[in-house]
Each structure stands twice: as structure tokens, then as C-alpha cells.
Amino acid sequence: MPASRPHRVAVLVSEGAKPLDVGIPAQVFTTRASMPYEVRVCGAAPGLVTGGDGLSYCVAHGLEALAWADIVFVPGYRFPDRDDPPAHVVDALSAAHERGARLAAISTGAFTLAATGLLDGKRATTHWHYTKALAAKHPRVLVDENVLFVDEGTVLTSAGAASGIDLCLHVLRGDLGVAASNHAARRLVAAPYRSGGQAQYVPRSVPEPLGERFAATREWALRRLDEPLTLEVLAEHAAVSPRTFSRRFVDDTGYTPMQWVMRARIDVARELLERSQRGVEQIAADVGLGTGANLRLHFQRLLGTTPSEYRRTFARGE
């Protein structure tokens, strides 16, 4: 994408579209000085589209917006297991993907994405209520019912409406860096980062105060990333055994405690690389990784790049 123009986002509204699913990408990628995006809400044709839950949408653009977009979001809609998307919509999505656009489904929008065949042989998810229906209707799709979102590069899928926020922040983090994603999360009053591998829906016998205690421990740890944070230290703060803490922490976050701590440290390092002139050695000390060599090692392992390359890509000019 040329650096001289904003990222182009199309939101494709289908018959029966869910209002939150439509609104999330339109709001996350809203055009403003801090967000170099242009958003167009479109339908199969310009005009009125009957939505779900008592709302309808008057869209200004038709399928030509898909030929314009860098990324197309397909919001969820009612009765996806019963109603097939129109053939010309499926063809327009396929053409957009062939041209180089990414396609991202929120909730049951995965059914429309699956109809293109682009999810065949790939992992995908949708709202937990419809995962079995998606697998039955599109047996070549590798449906994962236990995650919030799946990124397969040029095709992305997410679970229910709230995980659409997680997916949008994930896209934003890849486009503009972690500082911009965190800024958008604060604006939305949303969690800045939830693992795509976190479970959508976990039946619990755990009393809610325990979950709150773990959230408090995560907040406590985020303020102390420059200090030694072991499983035993975290479990002691949460007032449970290390074994219990480790097992329940995975349910809450999709990561083991030590994986979560490492990713938190790398995320803080990313923001410091973007927003400060600190050297790699100083940043490594600031985030509890000790040495620049250690930071480089984990940065490469988790992000596939080096701190220096990351800074060149995402650092903001003063």
C-alpha cells in the first residue's frame, strides 16, 4: 500500500447484519488524525439493507468498494446456516482477495467468507453457537471453536461481536504498531490485548472473585515488568497455589503465566521502540529482559523481526 494514502477499509453489510458487528470495524478504523484509515460501508448495492435486531442500514456504496479496499470486513448476520450469500457478493469478495485485499469476518460473517472457498484447508472460527454448523456446511474448513480469532494472513475470522474488537485491534497492531493499537483500545475502553487463542466460552465452576483476583494480579504484574516475575511470585500475589494459578490463568488468557509475562514485556518494548529514543540495552532493562541480546532473541522469536527493524518500521517522527 502506498505510504501517501490512508489504509482503505470496506465494511460489507449483508441482509440481517448484526449492528455491533457492523459498528465495530467502522468505529475502530474511524478516520481521524491518529488513525490513517478511510472507511466505506457498503452492501450488495447502494441503498437500504435490512439488518437484524430491528435495525436497517442505508449504505452509500455497492460492491465497487471491495475493489477499492485494502481490507474488507464481513460482519455477522442472522441465519447464516440457512441462507447462502448471493453469488455476485461471493465473486466480488474472491476478486478483492485475488487483487490483494485481506478479508476479515466477524462472527457469522465467516459463513460468507467460507463460501468463497478461501478458508478451505485453513483454520477459522465463528461464534461458538455456530461452529458446528460452519463445519457441517463447509467441511473443508478447519473450524476451531475454542479461540477468539484466527489470522491466516490474507483471511481472518473471529468469534462473537466482542472478539471483533480483538480482531480489529490485532489488525491495527500489525498495520501501525502497538502504541496505536493501545491508543485505540483506550479510546474504546477495551482490553488492549487478548490472545487470539483465548477460549471463547469456558464453562466455569470457579467463583467469580477468583477471576477478579487474577485480573488484579495481571495489573499488578504489568506495573512490575522490570522486576523478577516467576510463577511462584504471581501465584503468591493471587493467593492460590502455583498449580491452580497456572491452570486457571490459561483459561483466562490463552497463555501460560510465563508466556503472558514475556509477551507483556515484548509489547512494552515495542511501545518504547516506537515512542522513545532509548537504546536497545536500556529498553531490555526497562522491561525486565536484562540484556539487549535477550531482548533481540525473544523479539525475533515472537515477532519474526529485530528491535532495530521494528523501530525503523513503526517509530513516529517528532
Per-residue pLDDT tens over the stretch 111-127: 999 999 999 999 999 99
Whole-number pLDDT of residue 69: 97
Q: Length of the chain, please?
A: 318
Sequence-distant (≥ 6) Cβ neighbours of residue 124 within 8 angstroms: 105, 110, 113, 114, 134, 141, 142, 143, 144, 150, 152, 155, 157
3-class SS at 230?
A: coil
pLDDT at residue 66 greater than cutoff 60 = yes
pLDDT in tens, 8-21: 999 999 999 999 99
Query: Could you read off the pLDDT of 191-233 as tens digits, one per residue?
Result: 665 655 554 543 333 334 445 568 889 989 999 999 999 999 9
Q: Is it the case that residue 48 has pLDDT exceeding 90?
A: yes
CA 16 and chain centroid, separation: 24
Q: Where are the alpha helices (DSSP H) in the chain?
A: 19-28, 64-68, 87-99, 109-115, 131-137, 161-176, 178-188, 208-222, 231-238, 242-253, 257-275, 280-286, 292-303, 307-314
Confidence (pLDDT) at 252: 78
Grid cell of 165 as nine digits: 474488537
pLDDT of res. 234: 96
Residues 217 and 238: beta-carbon distance below 8 Å: yes
Q: Would you state the pLDDT for residue 202?
A: 39
Strand partners for 74: 105
- Residue 30's pLDDT is 80
Q: How far is CA 97 from the centre of its chain?
A: 19
Question: What digits encode the pLDDT tens for the residues 257-294?
Answer: 999 999 999 989 998 998 899 999 999 999 999 999 99
The three grid cell numbers given for residue 189, joined into one nine-digit string:
475502553
Residue 144 has pLDDT above 60, yes or no: yes
Q: What is the mean pLDDT of residues 254-259?
A: 89
What does the alpha-carbon distance between residue 201 and residue 63 come to, in Å, rounded to a whole number? 35
Work out whether strand 47-50 and strand 102-105 pair parallel, antiparallel, or are unpaired: unpaired
pTM above 0.75, yes or no: no
* Rounded mean pLDDT, 89-118: 97
Return mean pLDDT, the chain.
88
